[in-house]
């Protein structure tokens, strides 16, 4: 084979990720709050962008005089910039004009105050307690080492060595803090936390004390029969003590606020049902309205003797400004298209609830709206939609499904809802196991395996059968027939 060098002309097509395309992709996948922050950042970086203040526009205000057509043609010949296309139709895609409406006045009920943190709550109680200067120092150090769940994270010898005080003084101050609200705060372990709450609530139950001290692991695994044998009492009595234990709080500090834990959800799309039809409203009220600074534009058009570097800088920013406004408008149109498709395909869910949610994937929606799957994925990520059934993440509408005998599919969320209803309606004396639940689904025409039922049950936080079972008096007698216990057996009738 002869080898050599040569020149060939070849025509190919390539997709190049331009800065404008990258910006459009970034804008598309941002939520409303994130987009507002992004626009504020762009306003700081691009001096040619400015906010459109609708409040300053008054009815009857004279509009600026229009330039003559000859002057416009002359400027068009002088400047050959990309941004000229943006003003070709004398429109601003980034700004939508609305009729002015009087906003209702705000009341104090519209404002919320921040709840105190656990540390602030404990410090306020410490300041009200009769503590000396040294005890107050110890108390402040102990409160500073209590985590967000209410547990003390340092040992008493460590505190005594750190503050150079007696360990007995540290233990005395800790006992004072353990008497603060919420009950159980300042505990060193789970057993101590629960025992403090039992004492605080004045609960007189010897079985409960024994469960807390020795049988928490067995109780968590639902081994009530084993515990009843060890204690020599009935299973029903163990279950009654377990019910009391479930009313206690293993994390007494979790009901207080934490630093930077507030999360606001602003729906990007709102669905309103009007006369039997759903109206789609893209929530862009919180997004700043952008326009291009007319001063910079006129200076660039008229001033021909400006510095070349300055002119190139202004031209680059002027070219970037319309792209950002177009990207924001394109995001709004894409969200509207995707939301329209979701409303059309999930109409039964919107009318009747979660049980009627249909299986859906990105490919079907992309084919309906004429977009790529990645575009639909970006348009629905980190977005929320407000529906008559509640506020949901847009990804919630995309779920897998299982085949049924009718030849169609049932969504996983619908199956989970039916699973919750089955467990809520079951007989607690003889609860349904995963195999029986799968058989009930098959009777309803849904082909589902036992392992899938167990998977959905774990995702819903539903306990297994041994933890859901309730023991009655008859069950107790049947279980204890043929067993003898040392000590007195007490039976409490249900």
Evaluate whether 205 touches 248 at the Cβ level (below 8 Å): no
Q: Answer whether 0.85 is exceeded by the pTM.
A: no
Give backbone dihedrals phi and psi of 161, rounded to 5 degrees, phi first. Answer: -70, -35
Q: For 219-265, write each residue's pLDDT tens digit.
A: 988 889 999 999 999 999 999 999 999 999 999 998 886 655 556 77
| Cα(433)–Cα(423) distance, integer angstroms | 10
Confidence (pLDDT) at 53: 66
Cis before residue 161, ω within 30 degrees of 0?
Answer: no
**Per-residue pLDDT for 187 more than 90?**
yes
Higher-pLDDT residue of 184, 50: 184
Give backbone dihedrals phi and psi of 78, rounded to 5 degrees, phi first. Answer: -75, -40
Share above pLDDT 70 across residues of the chain, in percent, rounded to a whole number: 79
| Cα(235)–Cα(283) distance, integer angstroms | 57
Q: Name the region of 430 (left: φ>0; alpha: ψ -120 to 50; beta: rest).
A: beta
* Mean pLDDT value across residues 404-416: 81
Q: For 154-170, write each residue's pLDDT tens digit.
A: 999 999 999 999 999 99
Confidence (pLDDT) at 302: 66
Q: For 83-95, write each residue's pLDDT tens digit.
A: 445 444 444 444 4
Domains of the chain by start residue, with CATH: 118-246 (no CATH), 269-285+326-401 (no CATH), 402-462 (1.10.10.60)
As beta bridge partners, residue 152 has 146
Q: For 306-340, write each residue's pLDDT tens digit.
A: 677 877 887 888 888 888 999 999 999 999 999 99
**Burial state string for 325-362 with b = 16 or more CB within 10 A and e = fewer than 16:** bbbbbebbebbbbbbebbbeebeebbeeebbbbbbbeb
* Mean pLDDT value across residues 391-408: 82
Quickly state the pLDDT bin for 58 (edges 50, 70, 90): very low
Give backbone dihedrals phi and psi of 410, rounded to 5 degrees, phi first. Answer: -115, 135
As beta bridge partners, residue 446 has 404
| Cα(154)–Cα(167) distance, integer angstroms | 13
Quickly state the pLDDT bin for 195 (edges 50, 70, 90): very high
**Burial state string for 218-251 with b = 16 or more CB within 10 A and e = fewer than 16:** bbeebbbeebbbebebbbbbbbbbbeebeebbbe
Provide the terminal-to-terminal Cα distance of the chain, rounded to the nearest Å. Answer: 96
* Mean pLDDT value across residues 358-374: 90
Quickly state the pLDDT bin for 73 (edges 50, 70, 90): very low
Give backbone dihedrals phi and psi of 467, rounded to 5 degrees, phi first. Answer: -90, -15
**Per-residue pLDDT for 460 more than 70?**
yes
> What count of residues does the chain have?
494
């Amino acid at each position: 084979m002869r080898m050599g060098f040569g020149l060939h002309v070849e025509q190919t097509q390539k997709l190049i990720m331009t800065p404008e395309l990258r910006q459009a992709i970034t804008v598309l996948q941002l939520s409303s709050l994130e987009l507002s922050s992004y626009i504020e950042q762009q306003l700081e970086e691009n001096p040619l962008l400015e906010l459109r203040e609708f409040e300053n526009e008054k009815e009857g205000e004279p509009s600026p005089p229009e330039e003559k057509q000859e002057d416009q043609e002359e400027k068009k010949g002088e400047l050959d910039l990309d941004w000229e296309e943006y003003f070709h139709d004398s429109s601003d895609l980034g700004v939508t004009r609305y009729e002015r409406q009087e906003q209702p006045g705000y009341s104090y009920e519209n404002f919320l105050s921040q709840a105190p943190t656990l540390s602030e709550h404990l410090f306020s109680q410490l300041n009200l307690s009769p503590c000396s200067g040294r005890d107050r120092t110890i108390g402040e150090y102990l409160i500073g080492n209590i985590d967000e769940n209410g547990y003390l994270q340092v040992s008493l010898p460590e505190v005594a060595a750190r503050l150079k005080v007696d360990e007995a003084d540290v233990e005395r101050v800790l006992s004072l803090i353990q008497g603060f609200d919420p009950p159980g705060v300042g505990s060193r372990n789970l057993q101590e936390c629960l025992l403090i709450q039992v004492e605080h609530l004045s609960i007189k139950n010897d079985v409960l004390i024994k469960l807390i001290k020795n049988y928490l692991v067995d109780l968590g695994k639902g081994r009530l029969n084993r515990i009843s044998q060890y204690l020599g009492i009935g299973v029903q009595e163990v279950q009654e003590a377990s019910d009391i234990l479930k009313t206690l709080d293993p994390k007494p500090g979790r009901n207080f606020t934490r630093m930077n834990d507030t999360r606001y959800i602003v729906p990007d799309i709102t669905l309103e049902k009007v006369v039997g039809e759903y109206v789609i409203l893209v929530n862009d009220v919180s997004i700043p309205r952008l326009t291009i600074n007319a001063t910079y534009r006129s200076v660039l058009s008229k001033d021909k003797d400006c510095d070349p570097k300055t002119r190139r800088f202004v031209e680059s920013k002027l070219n970037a400004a319309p792209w950002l406004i177009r990207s924001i408008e394109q995001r709004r149109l894409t969200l509207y298209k995707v939301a329209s498709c979701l409303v059309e395909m999930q109409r039964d869910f919107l009318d009747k609830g979660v049980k009627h949610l249909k299986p859906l994937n990105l490919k079907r929606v992309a084919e309906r709206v004429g977009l790529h799957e990645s575009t639909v994925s970006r348009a629905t990520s980190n977005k929320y939609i407000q529906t008559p059934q509640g506020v949901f993440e847009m990804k919630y509408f995309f779920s897998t499904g299982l085949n049924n005998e009718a030849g169609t599919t049932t969504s996983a969320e619908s199956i989970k809802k039916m699973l919750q209803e089955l467990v809520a309606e079951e007989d607690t004396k003889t609860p349904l196991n995963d195999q029986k639940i799968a058989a009930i689904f098959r009777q309803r025409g849904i082909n589902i395996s036992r392992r899938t039922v167990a998977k959905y049950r774990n995702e819903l936080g539903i306990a297994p059968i041994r933890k859901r079972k309730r023991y009655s008096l008859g069950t107790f007698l049947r279980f204890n027939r043929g067993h003898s216990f040392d000590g007195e057996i007490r039976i409490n009738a249900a």
